[in-house]
Structure 1
């Protein structure tokens, strides 16, 4: 069965963007960007919610030639990686993406059963819909030294707790990565 990971840059107070939706505080340095590139290579399928897909599609297919090497590299990785985009409002997707408007929980169960590699979920709303069903196996928080005071939370309110086990910590110059496994 495929493993599903969920990770984002997170403010100290638990948000993935600020009240205006900005993520300008999440710009990775070269070491962290290379870490993300290397991790992304290991992912078989990337699951995107609509907003996350639109954010990524607005940036990564259009990386300028004079951008840093790690950014150009990620642009190529993102456009080539198989993606499943969950949306009831989009009518088409591009860059090796498949659009799914049906029940995300059932589709993710099917995708998890369809292999033994790693998938990732991108988008807080999509992840929030999967958490109560125990579909996320690993959580990766890239804790940034900023307090935003509001925005989109990394984790939703839940009816019952999800027990996690700390599996790894790693210090980068700009963030601390915390990796947790669901029990």
Structure 2
């Protein structure tokens, strides 16, 4: 069975974007960018909510030729990676993406059962829809030293607790990575 990882940059007060929807405070330095490039190579399938897909599609398929090598590398990785985009409003997706407009929970169950690799989920709303069903196996938080005071929370209100076990911490120049496994 495939493992599903929820990976996201998060503020100290638990938000994945600010009140205006901006994630400009998550801009990675070269060390963190290289880590994400290397990590992304290990991902078999990337699951995106609509907003994250649109944000990523706005830049990564079109990285300018003069951009730093590390960004051009990620652009190529992102466009080539198989992606499943969950949206009720989009009518088409590109760059090795498949659009799913019904029942994300059932589709993720099917994808998990369809192999033994690693998938990641991106998008707080999509992840929030999967959490109550126990579909996320690992949480990777990239904790930034900023307090936003509002925005989209990384974690939704839940009816029951999700017990986690700290598996790894890693200090980067700009963030602290906390990796938790579901008990």
Q: TM-score, normalised by structure 2?
A: 0.99
Aligned counterpart, 1:89: 89
Runs of at least 4 residues off by over 6 Å:
none
**Structure 1: tracts of 5 or more residues without a match:** none
The equivalent residue for 2:40 is 40
Equivalent in the alignment of 1:73: 73
Deviations 1:42-68 (A, max 9, x none): 000000011110000001001011111
> In structure 1, what is the equivalent of residue 138 of structure 2?
138
Q: CA deviation at 1:102?
A: 1.3
TM superposition score normalised by structure 1: 0.99
Once residues 110 and 149 of structure 1 are traced to their aligned partners in structure 2, the CA distance between those partners, rounded to angstroms, is: 37
Question: Is 1:109 aligned to 2:125, yes or no?
Answer: no
The superposition leaves residues 67-86 of structure 1 with CA deviations (integer Å, 9 ceiling, x where unpaired) of 11110000000000000000
* Counterpart Cα distance in 2 of 1:143 and 1:47: 21
Aligned to 2:44, what secondary structure does the other structure show?
A: strand
Structure 2 SS opposite 1:120 = strand
Residue 160 of structure 2 is aligned to residue 160 of structure 1: yes
SS in 2 for 1:9: strand
Gaps of 5+ in 2: none
Matches of 1:73 and 1:38, distance apart in 2? 10
SS at match of 1:59: helix
Deviation at 1:149, TM superposition (A): 0.2
Q: Please name the residue that 2:177 is paired with.
A: 177
Q: Partner of 1:28: helix, strand, or coil? A: coil
- Tell me how far apart the structure 2 counterparts of residues 130 and 139 of structure 1 sit (CA, whole Å): 12
What is the SS of the residue equivalent to 1:166?
Answer: strand
Aligned residues: 183
Give a deviation string over 1:98-144, Cα, whole Å, max 9, x none.
Answer: 00011000000000000000000010000000000000000000000
**What is the DSSP-based 3-state SS (H/G/I as helix, E as strand, rest coil) of the residue aligned with 1:112?**
helix
Aligned counterparts of 1:134 and 1:59: Cα–Cα separation in 2: 32
Give 1:19's aligned residue: 19
* Distance apart, 1:7 and its partner CA: 1.0
